[in-house]
Amino acid sequence: MLSLGIPKELKPGERRVSLTPQGTKFLHDRGVTIFVEENAGLLSGFSNQDYESSGAVLISNSRDLWDKACLIKKVKEPISPEFSYFTDQHIIFAYLHLASPSARPLIQALQKAKATAIAYETIEKDNDTPLLKPMSEVAGILAAYYGVIFQKHIKIEKSQIKGIPEAKAAMAEAASHYPKVPHFKYRGRVLILGGGHVGKNAAEMVYQMGGEVWISEISEMKRNQLANNFKSRNLKINMINPANLTNYQECLMLSDVIISAVHSAGKRAPIVIDEELLKLISLRKKKIILDVAIDQGGNVAESKPSNYENILDLDSYGNLRFSVTNIPAFCGRGSSIALEEASLEYTHLLTQGVERAIQICPELSSGINLLKGEIVHLAVSEAHHL
């Protein structure tokens, strides 16, 4: 049985942990040796003592943990300080988003070390992504709140963004109470691009706050499913087909907030607002654009990955842009628990080895992006022309 390592997350603003003390006890009781880096769970509300009491062995630094463990479970992808820890004995299980243009250095480090990488977001079962779903729901809810918060607190004066400290305080307050986030009053117009888990949850939150909300979804089947779902619950959420360019562009121009969440499992996110369209829709009204698909490269021209330390910037046309790559990170405890509920059984199986895990749960094969340093996921190789 493979030993399991739980490192402290290093990505700026990240508050989640990939295994809670409850999950630690579950695996320990089944014979798994678990190494947890000291303070890995503090920002999620879990103490070192909580982990020790659940059967984990505390490790004082990241390098020692990577040296001792074979299966490394993380929340977000490893960042450059961790690349030197990789070996051919490692199986890395995390949100990896390797099709994103910014992931090339990580891919090269994994290849050089001949490591195996299994991505939460590319595991597909019954035409769904079960490990992406819980974080997508969190991201959708928070994106709706953040859009309202930015409209309330942020002002643009001579190309300078004012009110960021106040906005950050309001964001932290909302996230700290997740899933019981406060309901603000809102009367603006929000257009959501993509009717997946992010889009659906964002739309419902905007509606509950009193906003006018539209969802743009290319799939007729999904539009009908969403329309029927909303109608059955008396939610007045409008659907639009982006193939109808006149209506689509009109909605884009009239919107105050745009939340983009068009996702294709494992692939680079499609650009749905290119430079020309971005310029056009900015002429009538400046927007607040939250590109939730930024983990996979983003849906909107000029989107650049950012973090919770640098939350906002302006694009070439004066629109306020939010492109944080780990949106659910602010909800440390709630997000960690939700992720564990979706991933714990897979983690247990992977401690028995990749081949054995796939025999029991074949869908895990779709999660393998690299196997012993070789890219085996088609979407990743296509995205980087490898």
CA distance 345 to 23: 10
Q: Which of 118, 15, 92 is nearest to 337 (CA)?
A: 15
Catalytic residue among 28, 50, 90, 97: 97
Give yes or no: 128 in active site. Answer: no
Q: Which of 122, 173, 135, 165 is nearest to 376 (CA)?
A: 122
What's the chain's Rg over C-alpha atoms?
Answer: 21
Give yes or no: 295 in active site. Answer: yes
Catalytic residue among 50, 256, 291, 295: 295
| Contact (CB, 8 A) for 198 and 143 | yes
Q: Give the DSSP letter of residue 71.
A: E
| Contact (CB, 8 A) for 115 and 92 | yes
Strand partners, 35: 5, 57
Q: Which of 92, 90, 41 is nearest to 70 (CA)?
A: 90
| Contact (CB, 8 A) for 281 and 253 | yes
CA distance 346 to 137: 20
Q: Omega into 242 within 30° of 0, i.e. cis?
A: no
- Give the pair of three-digit tokens for residue 129: 């992504």
Pairing of strands 57-59, 34-37: parallel
Sheet of strand 313-314, all strands in order from the earlier edge strand to the far edge: 238-240, 212-216, 189-193, 257-260, 288-291, 320-322, 313-314
- Work out the number of other CB atoms within 10 angstroms of the CB of residue 140: 27
| Measured CA angle at 113 (ends 112, 114), to 5 deg | 95
Please count the residues of the chain.
Answer: 386
Residues with catalytic roles: 97, 295
